[in-house]
Structure 1
Amino acid sequence: MRTRTAAATTIGTLALLTALAPAAQADTHKGDTTFTSVIFSRPTVTVGVSAAQKLTVTATAKDGSGIKNIWGGKILSPDNHVILADSADCTRPTSTTMKCVWAYTLEADRTDYADLRNSWAGTWHFNAEAGAYDGDYYEMVDSASVKVRRYAKLTATQATPEPVAKGGTLTVTGTLTRADWNTNTYAGYASQKVALQFKKSGSTSYTTVKTVTTDSAGKLKTTVTANAAGTWRWKFSGTGTTSSATAAGDGVALK
């Protein structure tokens, strides 16, 4: 049997609504109602400035008397802004369980109240409430989470001069930017530690040579001694709000 939940009624205008939610609380419940599983289609959603990113959440609730309905099905940003589902579809796998799938669209370049803002990056929480026929319930508030991060980019690595004399000095440059959801542009990411890595010709792996901090515009510049031919690249590990990034390498020969 296929049924629709109250969450499904948010399709349309309400599905686009973003509002300020109450401060986060712990999960609450009564009786034997529980969520047996909550599965995110992606553990981390990385969003740039234009392309929309999709996320689904699949939750199964159970109670001995049977689940009457699952309400809510929304995701909350770190500063408690709500994004409702584009759609919700629920089934009853057994007489005691209900399984629902909610679909969300995350995008910085929207024309509605669900337009992402920089302050929303970080750990998001899924909220829903399952109600049983015997009056028991389970309200999920903070036990299921997903990372939503701003997309970061590193420009192609530039190492000069090319070729370089063995033992000579190489100047290596690059730029780290990340999505600015407030302006829908990529802006320099300041004061971030980025690894400069080297892969010797004939090798298959990179080794970190040093760590360099970006300036106020996200720019990177350092010098190294060229002791072997190979490829240089920048690698950023990411933060709690921003994705990792790896630059295209620049091969340098010795003369």
Structure 2
Amino acid sequence: MRIRATVAAVSGALALSALAVPAAQADDGRSWTVDHGVTAPQAPAGEKSKRAFGAAAQAVDNAKITSAVVNGGKPIVVGTKSKVTVPYTVTATDDSGIAGAAAFIWIGSSVDAEDSFGFGPNEKSVSCKVVSATTTTCKGTITLTPGLMLNSDATWWRVGAAAGANDGQELERDAVSKVRVQRFSKLTVNASPEPVKKGKTITVTGKLTRANWDTGTYKGYSKQSVQLQFKKKGAKSYSTVKTVKTSSTGTLKTTVKASADGTWRYSFAGTPSTPAVSAKGDFLDVK
């Protein structure tokens, strides 16, 4: 499996690309290539363009990448089939001004290590705005492909960025910030029997599942605490009735007394690897 994550952007006639490194091969067999920098305008005749990488790239002759944020800092939630495209914003500064910048996300011990894997920017998505004579902010998107991801990828990813200054300097920071990537979750509910007499026992079942990137399917999320909630007819919000734990296959089942017409649902608070989710409510008619 191979994904090319190209740190590329466009600012006017400037195409930000190149400085490619060999593909890093992850332990799980995946590989990716990230162009680690940007091609800035040619430096004045007689001057050699300066390039900087990693920690050294944080400050090269006043050139700095000051921030890089992906998806507004919110977790990126990925299912099993559809690609997920999220926005990023990169701000960089230099005495000569910034020609362009782009971001990428990755996991592993280092960008070039064998255990690294990541996704780069969508080249045609990039747009830049000059904030001042020295500072420019560039925006674009990054697309994650679930078919290339493993369950172990549901964790914090590093956000890297590359930029090019007007005087020919090229710089990169491999870890400007972080963004969490999570496995999409689903939750169902069913209250029965229906209709039911007031005071009689009802059974509320459901199932909590989440994306299994290893298999491309959804699998039950076991041993998770889920709240059973009820919203009386005419009420505006739900109230928690009890907490129920999922089985080894992610199923939920509990019993309660029917007291009034209303809607039942299960609600899951989420975990670091899995986002919160609430089931679409099931209305129960009580006679």
TM superposition score category, shorter chain reference: 0.7 to 0.9
2:70 aligned to 31, 40, 55, which one?
40
Uncovered stretches (5+) of structure 1, i.e. residues with no partner: 110-114
Q: CA RMSD in A?
A: 3.3
Secondary structure in 2 aligned to 1:105? strand
Uncovered stretches (5+) of structure 2, i.e. residues with no partner: 1-10, 25-29, 35-53, 110-115
Q: How big is each residue's C-alpha offset from its partner over 1:163-186, in whole Å with a ceiling of 9 and x where there is no partner?
A: 223222211100111111111101
Contact map agreement 1:17 1:84 (CA 8 A) in 2: no
2:48 is aligned to none
2:86 aligned to 51, 55, 65, which one?
55
1:196 is aligned to 228
1:112 is aligned to none
- Cα separation, partners in 2 of 1:153 and 1:92, compared to 1, 3 Å: closer
**Quick check: 1:153 aligned with 2:177?**
no
1:86 is aligned to 122
Tell me by how many angstroms 1:131 deviates: 6.2
1:173 aligned to 205, 215, 220, which one?
205
1:237 aligned to 269, 276, 283, which one?
269
TM-score (ref. length: structure 1)? 0.79
1:82-161 correspondence to structure 2 within 5 Å: 82-87=118-123, 89=126, 91=128, 93=130, 94-109=132-147, 115-130=148-163, 139-155=172-188, 157-161=189-193
Q: How many residues align?
A: 240
Percent of residue pairs identical: 40
- Cα separation, partners in 2 of 1:231 and 1:62, compared to 1, 3 Å: same
- Cα separation, partners in 2 of 1:38 and 1:128, compared to 1, 3 Å: closer
Contact map agreement 1:76 1:126 (CA 8 A) in 2: yes
1:8-47 correspondence to structure 2 within 5 Å: 18=32, 29-30=58-59, 32-42=62-72, 43-47=74-78
1:206 is aligned to 238
Amino acid paired to 2:161: A
**Quick check: 1:4 aligned with 2:34?**
no
Tell me by how many angstroms 1:69 deviates: 6.7
Secondary structure in 2 aligned to 1:119? helix
2:278 is aligned to 246
- Cα separation, partners in 2 of 1:168 and 1:92, compared to 1, 3 Å: closer
Secondary structure in 1 aligned to 2:92? strand
210-219 or 41-50: which moved more?
A: 41-50
- Cα separation, partners in 2 of 1:208 and 1:56, compared to 1, 3 Å: same
Tell me by how many angstroms 1:41 deviates: 4.1
2:45 is aligned to none
Contact map agreement 1:78 1:121 (CA 8 A) in 2: no
Tell me by how many angstroms 1:105 deviates: 1.4
Q: How big is each residue's C-alpha offset from its partner over 1:173-231, in whole Å with a ceiling of 9 and x where there is no partner?
A: 00111111111101111111111100011111101111111111000011112222211
Tell me by how many angstroms 1:98 deviates: 4.0
Equivalent-residue separation in structure 1 for 2:129 and 2:265 (angstroms): 52
Equivalent-residue separation in structure 2 for 1:227 and 1:92 (angstroms): 59
Contact map agreement 2:231 2:264 (CA 8 A) in 1: yes
Tell me by how many angstroms 1:138 deviates: 6.6
Tell me by how many angstroms 1:151 deviates: 0.7
Secondary structure in 1 aligned to 2:146? coil
